[in-house]
Every structure is written in structure tokens, then in C-alpha cells.
Amino acid sequence: MKLYDTELTSALLLGTAQYLSPAILCEAIRASGCEVITVSLRREATDGAGTQFWDMLRETGMRVLPNTAGCHSAQEAVTTARMAREVFGTDWIKLEVIGHADTLQPDVFALVEAAGALARDGFKVFPYTTDDLIVGERLLEAGCEVLMPWGAPIGSGQGLRNPDALRAMRAHFPTVPLIVDAGVGRPSDAAQAMELGMDGVLLNTAVAKAGDPVGMARAMALAVQAGRAGHLADPMERRDMAVPSTPVLGLAELM
């Protein structure tokens, strides 16, 4: 898929939060085959481990997609994005403007406002949004060239709560890169997203909080490939009536 100016081979994007150790994170990144990782910048944090962490991430050679996680207003997100551009040396920004502390759902009003401000400022904006078609339209009008609808609340691992809405989104935006961001918990969720025609999947908790994060990263890599291949192979229609699926071999010919 092409995200702005960049052609990517892998459809998987990986978040870098919540891992037990930076070493496990780096191994998971490699196992996932991803080319893009998201990293958070939070002004309030000063826990001393940041520089080393960042150095390790840089050594993976991954493209960094900084995010504005934890921001609750357009202004805060814009400010954070600008700092992230300085820190990470990229004009890519995953724009999160959280509207609700429990569900971590986007505030779509602030999101559109911030997206416009950042696009005008030269950012390549990756908006974390809902599956609302009209919000998607506004984000495109604001200058976004990719949309990242949620599958379920961040960190919930519930899978795709509303596949029909994602299907409608695919139909409505046939040429816009769509990346399911948040909610994926298992490989089958990731495969399903790709089967719906999504271009990619961004996940974090499902890998970080698995018993074996590296194994799960590998599983997710396979799952997005499986779902993508399945989508391209044009699946059979689901049928209400069962039909026989075994061939008829003539015994005479066989013996």
C-alpha cells in the first residue's frame, strides 16, 4: 500500500507501548515484518528511560509514525505533533484526539480541526477515527490521504465490533488507504479486517500483552497476509443451503 509518498510491502503497523522490555519489543518488531512503528510522545513523562528506548527503536530501522496519544484537545494534539516532528524528524503524524477517557474514542470534531491545522502546516496526517463516513469525508477534505478507523476501543481486543460499517467505509472510499487501528485482539480479527478490503492493520496491545509477544507478532504478520490474499482471491459466497463438496470419481476408472 502507498501511504502518502511511501510504498510499503507489509500491511501491518505496530505500536510500541506496554512491552515488558525494550528487548522484547525489538524482537516483536522484527518478527512482525512491519515497516512502520508508532511511538508516543508525552510531555508529562520524564522517567529517564526515554533516550535509550528511542535509540533502540532507531536501530530497528523502522519508519517511525509518532502519535499524539493522550491528547484531549485539538490544540494539545497540534502542539504535541509539532514537538514530535522535532524529536523524531518526520512529518508523519498519527493524530489521536481522545474524546472519552474510558473508551478512548476519538473526538471527531477536534480531530477534524487538528487534522486541518496539521495538514496546512505540512504534516502528513494519519487520523485515528471512527467508522463514520461523514467524518472520513471531512478528514479527507482537511488534507488527510489515509484514514485509520477503529475496530473497537483501544486496548479492548474485542475485534471488529461493526464489520458492516467498515465494509461501507471501503465502498465509500474505494481509493483511500484504510487502516484498522485499535480493537484487534487475535490473528483472525486481523485477517477479517483485511478480508473486508482494508489496506492495513495497526495494533499494539494484542502483541504487547500476549503471553508470547514475539510469537503473536509473527502470528499477526501471517494473518494480515492471509486476509489480504483471501480478499484478492475473491472468496465464495456464504450459502444458507448446504451443497455437496466432494467429487464423483468413477470406480471403473479408478481401479
Residue 155 interacts with its own copies (CB under 8 A): yes or no: yes
Catalytic residue (choose from 2, 94, 124, 209): 94
The answer to whether the beta carbons of residues 206 and 185 sit under 8 Å apart is: yes
Chain centroid to CA 57: how far?
A: 18
Residue 37 interacts with its own copies (CB under 8 A): yes or no: no
What is the rounded CA–CA span in Å between residue 206 and residue 177?
Answer: 22
Stretch that binds its own copies, among 5-13, 41-49, 117-125 (CB under 8 A): 41-49
Residues 60-119 that bind its own copies (CB under 8 A): 67, 69-70, 83, 86-87, 96, 99-100, 102-109, 112
Residue 208 interacts with its own copies (CB under 8 A): yes or no: yes
Reference 63, options 148, 143, 3; nearest CA is 3
What is the rounded CA–CA span in Å between residue 19 and residue 23?
Answer: 9
Annotate each residue in 117-146 with x if it binds its own copies (CB under 8 A) or - if it does not, as one string: -------------x-xxxx-xx--------
What is the rounded CA–CA span in Å between residue 10 and residue 33?
Answer: 7
Q: Measured between alpha carbons, how far apart are the two ends of the chain, in Å?
A: 51
Residues noted as catalytic: 94
Detail the residues annotated as belonging to a binding site for 1-deoxy-D-xylulose 5-phosphate: 155, 182-183, 204-205
Detail the residues annotated as belonging to a binding site: 155, 182-183, 204-205
